[in-house]
Amino acid sequence: MPTAIKTHQECGLQVPEFSLGEDVGKEFCTGAELVEFMGMVALSCETEEDEYLNSYDFCGERREIGNVKVLHWRGLFTTAQVEAVYDAVREALVKEAHVPWFGFYVHGFS
């Protein structure tokens, strides 16, 4: 299978708040809920609670982050290639102070 790259942009996105600590009075999403949210964004599903069939439902704290770029990179990659992409993204984000976080998901098999 040849390598394929596909991108799209999501606008006006509100991301569920995630925290490892506890803050009284705030409801944060779990790690599993954050991964589910990222999957919904990657699939261009509705992330607001308006839709019945394909909506993401989290009624806790959310943060508006604006526009998001989604990159799907499909193919067979070595561990070294995945690490190189991860390191390049991290280095780029260090230079961009306004980017609050990024998601990086790799589906592997053995």
**Domain locations in the chain?**
4-72
Which pLDDT tens digits describe the chain residue by residue (110 residues)? 567 888 888 888 888 887 776 666 778 888 888 888 888 888 887 666 665 665 566 677 788 888 888 888 888 888 999 999 999 988 888 888 777 678 888 877 76
CB atoms within 10 A of CB 37: 22
**Please, which residues have CB within 8 angstroms of residue 79's CB and are 6 or more apart in sequence?**
none
For the chain, the C-alpha Rg in angstroms (whole number) is 16
Q: What is the pLDDT of residues 47-68, one digit of tens each?
A: 666 656 655 666 777 888 888 8
d(CA 4, CA 92): 22
Residue 6 β-bridge partners: 72
**Alpha carbon 24 to chain centroid, angstroms:** 26
